Amino acid sequence: MTDRRSTNFFARQEQARSNCRNLVVVFIVAVLAIITTIYFAFRLICYIHLTTNVFTVSEPIANYTQHNSFAWWDAAIFIMVFIGVTLFILAASVIKMRQLQKGGGAVAKMLGGRCVSKSANIPAEQQLLNVVEEMAIAAGIPVPEVYILEKEAGINAFAAGLTINDAAVAVTQGALEKLTRDELQGVVAHEFSHILHGDMRLNIQLMGIIYGVLIIGIIGGEILDNHRISSKSIVLFIAGLLLTIIGYIGTFTGRLIQSAVSRQKEFLADASAVKFTRNPLGLASALKKIGGYIYGSQITSPTARQASHLFFGKSCKDYLFADFLATHPPLTERILLLDPSFDGIFPQVGSGNKTFSPTHDNGELITDMSKPRPLSSGLMPVTAKAADIVDRVCSPNLGNLSRASDILSSIPQQLKDLLNTPAGSAAAIYALLTGSTCAERKLPLKAVDPSLAALGSTEDFLSLCKLAADLKDEQKLPLVELALPSLRNLTVMERKNFLEIVDLLIHADGKITLFEFSLQWIVRQYLSNNEKILEKTVYFHISQVGYHILIILRALATAGNMGNTDAARRAFNAGAARIPELACKTPDYYYTEDINFTEVNTALKKLDSSSFKIKQLIVDACAHCAFSDKTVTVTEAELLRVISLALHCPLPPLNQINQ
């Protein structure tokens, strides 16, 4: 498949900023058009009211003079309309966006979605969960929540959320029933592109803006529905009719904004999905099924029009200017980019339900839904280079998917079964933090956290600790990520208790390891208040954050070269050399065995408020720091990954690293 545009993460962020600027311009034009139309509609109502009430038999001449002197332009009235309508539209948009800031799950529920439980014994749903988990681990991000739109027969899907920490992936019942695993994997990979490249945040903002420009028409419709035509309510009826007509300005503008933003992103997401799975025919086959299916990709939810730009396929019909206002490119055009041999004929897809048969496209039966699909023997992972890391940000490939499959398959099933419930997930985290030292510490965990009572006896928890202690380093963080969706179901008080216990276990021995810091940072970020507004970009020059970049480089150099001062210094210098503003000051490196993770945490928070141009330099510098000795240890890879996550520039796990 030929990429029409760059799929580089940082290039797409620049495109997103450009889209946001264009979006603001179109929104302002739409609001001005609505204000102007409402003003003249109001003056028309005044004119009609005047002409229908002032004429009497006794005073025809005076009233005729009053009628002819009616002024259509009144600056004072226009200013009042301008202020009132602007505040009203902005208030409607802000209120809607506040509702959507609860995360992707809130959007999925708004569209009729049901959260998929990890404990559900439904093969099709378990297959979907397995695909999502596998891709999340491969992409290096927390596992998103998974939803099914049970009432939707069309083949469709979407991803929603403000950040990777509150993301959700939803598929329709039709997609679950009609798509094979390879097709489903292609669709989910497409949605993961939207998650990884920040499209979701723009899409959520777009939903709020569209609601603001639609609200006028919604009010007009309500007036028409609740008032009959009569001599007493003629003015009110005309007002409702005019507001409804004016509302079409908002509808047209909203669709125009959706189509302008969405069509470009769909091509990019298709390209990213192919890069991820190396299976263009799986995605192409899913699109062909949409074309040959009686329900296509249609969504019946009444709120679907507000969210039409979120979906994998076209969710709503347009009867006027259908091509001009389309939120998605034509199916044939998308398919031809994936499968040049496509003849334009869509295969017929039956509308009846089918008995689920978990097979790959090659016909091989999957007998254990907990196991990822087998990989082609001809595909081998490729060792990364420092110069390639920037381009690999938010750009996982088949090697990452292969590694994720191996890691997920190697985690003991007993541990994975625990993750079906919030209490079990909490227990798994506690076990990871205590490991082999659980018996020696004799920590009264049940007294600290009553939820552990669900595990049974203390011996059961000691057995769990042993399983956790036997895990390899590369298995631990993926296990944490698998536990995150269940942990989100903790109540506010349970979350607080959980985080306090995590902090207690980490500080029990008086020191913090890199894994403990990574685990604590991930769970705190994931379980933080979803309604918190994202940090704004406030740093645009290296001089504003140079000190904090050096803190991160020192920590990374030390973590990867414990006990070797010279190697650590070379690593630090290799990273600093990638940023001329820092290199010219010849920063000094001092070696210490203990990394100050409190200082690292503070630095990461500040660097997250930097521009993406600075973040790109930081990721590149960290990569050259880690690769300075031509190898990357598990410790270096782990810290490099946390740094990238903190900057909201997720880095897929490295395919080959030194143990």
Render pLDDT for 468-482 as a digit per residue (tens, 0 to 9): 888 888 888 889 989
Buried b (16+ CB within 10 A) or exposed e, 337-367: bbbeebeeebeebeeeeeeeebeeeeeeebe
Of the residues 145, 152, 191, 266, only one is catalytic, namely 191
Detail the DSSP E strand segments found in 503-586: none
- Would you place residue 226 in the very low, low, confident or very high pLDDT band (cuts 50, 70, 90)? low
Question: What's the rounded mean pLDDT across residues 53-72?
Answer: 55
Whole-number pLDDT of residue 374: 40
Render pLDDT for 151-205 as a digit per residue (tens, 0 to 9): 999 999 999 888 888 889 999 999 999 999 999 999 999 999 888 887 777 777 7
- Cα 368 to the center of its chain, rounded Å: 29
- Would you place residue 308 in the very low, low, confident or very high pLDDT band (cuts 50, 70, 90)? confident
DSSP type of residue 144: P
Q: 75-81 — which CB contacts under 8 Å span 24+ positions?
A: 77/39, 77/42, 77/43, 78/39, 81/35, 81/38, 81/39, 81/42
Q: What is the mean pLDDT of the chain?
A: 78
- pLDDT-wise least confident of 76-85, 211-220, 330-339, 618-627: 211-220
Question: What's the rounded mean pLDDT across residues 624-645?
Answer: 84
CA distance 630 to 131: 33
Q: Please report how the helices 634-646 and 514-526 are oriented relative to each other, as an axis angle in degrees rounded to 10.
A: 30
More confident residue, 66 or 209: 209
Question: What's the rounded mean pLDDT across residues 503-513?
Answer: 82
457: Cβ contacts below 8 Å, ≥ 6 apart: none
CA distance 228 to 240: 11
CB 208 within 8 A of CB 94: yes
Q: What is the DSSP string of 11-25?
A: HHHHHHHHHHHHHHH
More confident residue, 617 or 2: 617
Whole-number pLDDT of residue 491: 87
Q: What is the pTM of this model?
A: 0.79
- Cα 359 to the center of its chain, rounded Å: 29
Reply yes or no on whether 440 is catalytic: no
526: Cβ contacts below 8 Å, ≥ 6 apart: 142, 165, 484, 487, 488
